[in-house]
Chains A and B, each alone.
Chain A
Amino acid sequence: MKAETPRPAGSGFGEAIMVPVRLAMGLVDAPLRWVQRKLGLGGMAAFFLLPNMLIFGIFVLLPFFINFAYSMTGGTALFLDDRTFVGTDQYARLFDCSNYIDPNSCTEDTFWTAVGNTAWFVVLQVTLMILFSLITALILNRELMARSFWRAVFFFPVLLSPVVVGLIWKWILQRQGLLNFALYGFGFEPYTWLNDRNWAFAAAVGVSIWAHMGFYTLILLAGLQAIPKDLYEAAEMDGTRPARAFWRITLPLLMPNLLVVIVLVLIRAVQIFDEVYVLTGGGPGTSTLYLTQYIYETGFATQLRNPGLAAAASILMGMVLVVLTLIQLGLGRSSEKKGSRK
């Protein structure tokens, strides 16, 4: 990544802020020199690394390990010491099904409903998201006027908070909302979309695609622009039809990029929560209840909360995510190796 713009010139206000900061940093310097003498250079490295690692350790790694402990305890108590050890009971409970395909045959039917919903969601959302992002990237790759404007157009929803996204679309899908208004012009009667199980699901897929497509479009666009233009000219001279040029030149050269994007979308899709929760709250019924919401509600939100069960479910989800993340890292490494060869 190269430096893009020069630092903004110090405004009066900026300068004013810097004075006390510089003072504070100067005060910090003296004791830190002492620390440096004690620790040496290598020790100083550890010093710099410490705050970050501390936070990682306490708030990411520690919970990760404790999670396993939680998943083997029962009861509604919050702290680990107050909980009772139950071994693998929680897992057993999760897997207690006569027929895995039919959630109703399970003890934890909500869990399996969530798993089923999430599976369907992932399949639909990933396919459609990649399709739309790729098409948009291909279109943005053409010689367009004001290309950065069009890029910004598709990127705009990415910045919106999931709550805002959920509320905007909840409002649009209201009975008196924009969608019904638009359809009314074509002669359709207004419909309460979010009260329909299938349409609510479709809305969840569509809204999450709407909100995140721009991000993946940008990544794919960068990949497309890395393909030298004279390859296409050479192909044109050879009489290659555009479709063939796409399949034999564009797609293979974009493939490393594309694979990484697919895995990224997968990872995010499995964890879907925020905008859907605001949009539908998991309903109607449990038709848009996904894994993360299940974990959240089982762990916190209901009166009969069961942190142990939630922990067990989260570990199962975590295993899927670990596999996907490892794949992503592996793909990222190999595409770096390929790219370095010109």
Chain B
Amino acid sequence: MSRIAAFIFRRKGRNGWHWTDIVTWIWLVGGLLIMFGPAVWLVGSSFKSPAALAEFPPTILPYVTQKATVEGYDKPLDLYDATLPDGRKAVLAEVRRIGVISQMVDPEKPGEIIKVNISQRTPVRTMAFATTNYTEPFTHFDFVRYLWNSVFVTVTATLITLVVNSMAAFALSKYEFRGRTFAMLLILATLMVPLSVIMVPLYSIVSALGLFNNLWGVILPTVATPTGVFILRQYMLTIPDELIDAARMDKASEWQIYWRIVLPLTAPALAVLAIFSVVWRWNDFLWPLIVLSRKELYTLQVGLSIYSGELNVQWHFILAMTVVTMIPVVLVFIFLQRFITTGIAGTGLK
């Protein structure tokens, strides 16, 4: 055990603490808190009732004040641990609060009103998860629709991206033809034309094509990613040309070569691109915001932002839906992060 500890705490300064070790530990622990903390805080807050959300100072976990039905009163009353004027401690229910004095009754003996200063009482709390925060938006708002729209856009766009990008990568990696350099330069050029620059004319083109207010209008402009083409092309370059020559000798058509030989061999790169594409499309915001104006078509991201921009923000629903929006990406992160990190390191900065 001590050997393990020695390994974990292996330090630059051999026996003592070097200052770089202290900085390292502070940075790492700080990083852990700052990077994960907000998401944890989000999840915890999403289970709180609106009342709990409004209080300050807030609690980390969702608590709810216990209530009790007391004879003679219509609605259930909040329970408190109170210190009575004579020093005794009791669990009392609050009837009403006037200024700094709380009028309370003993739930067992509801006849008598006991006055307790508010500083002498703390709420009886239990952890309660307000799961209605999650269910309500789906039943009363359009979030099921939004979820469906996001899923549709993400899956369809990813499939199309994989096919279209791989076909282009295949052409650029395995064929010699006159326009090849020009085509590559062209694709490179599109890196210089981000959405923020062309959003106005793109909008009119998409409208002219009849794709305005249409999920396909969200999907189509996004599928020909230069990054995707480059990643796949890099990988396809490592497939020996002899395989393709042999297939041609075997009278395979070019389409068969693409479909039955090159594509299966490119599977790892396709997996990386698929992951990237899923994350990109799921997270897309500006373009869906521009193209969609009918509520039923909103993706999760757009719907969420519209709801959170309203005057009367219903935070308990927003937080819950934010968590839902976050889930697929977190799943990708947990199960597939190694793909992503090696994919980025491998492609470097293309």
Q: Would you call A59 an interface residue if the criterion is a C-beta within 8 Å of the partner chain's C-beta atoms?
A: yes
Enumerate chain A residues within 8 angstroms of B186, measured Cβ to Cβ: 53, 56, 61
Q: Would you call B28 an interface residue if the criterion is a C-beta within 8 Å of the partner chain's C-beta atoms?
A: yes
Q: Would you call B349 an interface residue if the criterion is a C-beta within 8 Å of the partner chain's C-beta atoms?
A: yes
Enumerate chain B residues within 8 angstroms of A64, measured Cβ to Cβ: 193, 197-198, 201
Complex: how many Å from CA A219 to CA B345?
6
Instruction: Contact check, B345 vs A222: say whether CB atoms are below 8 A apart.
Output: yes
Enumerate chain A residues within 8 angstroms of B235, measured Cβ to Cβ: 1
Tell me which of A47, A273, A332 contacts B349 (CB under 8 A).
Answer: A332
Tell me which of B28, B196, B255 contacts A292 (CB under 8 A).
Answer: B196
Enumerate chain B residues within 8 angstroms of A328, measured Cβ to Cβ: 349
Considering only CB atoms and an 8 Å cut-off, how many residues of chain A contact the other chain? Answer: 113
Q: Mark A133-163, 1 if CB is under 8 A from B, else 0.
A: 0011001001111001011111111011111
Min CB gap B125→A, angstroms: 17
Q: Mark A67-84, 1 if CB is under 8 A from B, else 0.
A: 101100000001110000
Known: A56-B190, A151-B341. A70 touches B305 (CB 8 A): no
Known: A161-B283, A164-B325. A63 touches B45 (CB 8 A): no
Secondary structure at chain B's binding surface: helix, strand, loop or mixed? helix
Enumerate chain A residues within 8 angstroms of B36, measured Cβ to Cβ: 153, 156
Considering only CB atoms and an 8 Å cut-off, how many residues of chain B contact the other chain? Answer: 117
Enumerate chain B residues within 8 angstroms of A160, measured Cβ to Cβ: 39, 283, 326, 329
Q: Would you call A5 an interface residue if the criterion is a C-beta within 8 Å of the partner chain's C-beta atoms?
A: yes
Counting residue pairs across A and B whose Cβ atoms lie within 8 Å, the total is 323
Q: Would you call A107 an interface residue if the criterion is a C-beta within 8 Å of the partner chain's C-beta atoms?
A: no
Instruction: Contact check, A52 vs B268: say whether CB atoms are below 8 A apart.
Output: no
Instruction: Contact check, B191 vs A317: say whether CB atoms are below 8 A apart.
Output: no
Complex: how many Å from CA A5 to CA B338?
10
Complex: how many Å from CA A163 to CA B308?
10
Tell me which of A55, A135, A215 contacts B220 (CB under 8 A).
Answer: A55
**20 A-B residue pairs with CB within 8 Å:** A4-B268, A44-B175, A48-B171, A52-B164, A56-B187, A60-B221, A67-B201, A80-B204, A136-B27, A151-B341, A152-B333, A159-B330, A167-B42, A218-B341, A219-B345, A219-B349, A271-B194, A299-B200, A314-B196, A318-B192
Query: Taking beta carbons and an 8 Å cutoff, which residues of A are in contact with B?
Result: 1-5, 7, 25, 28-29, 32-33, 36, 41-42, 44-49, 51-53, 55-56, 58-64, 66-67, 69-70, 78-80, 135-136, 139, 142-145, 148, 150-157, 159-164, 166-172, 175-178, 180-181, 184, 190, 210, 214-215, 218-219, 221-222, 242, 260-261, 264, 271, 273-274, 277-278, 281, 291-292, 295-296, 299-300, 307, 310-311, 314-315, 317-318, 321-322, 325-326, 328-329, 332
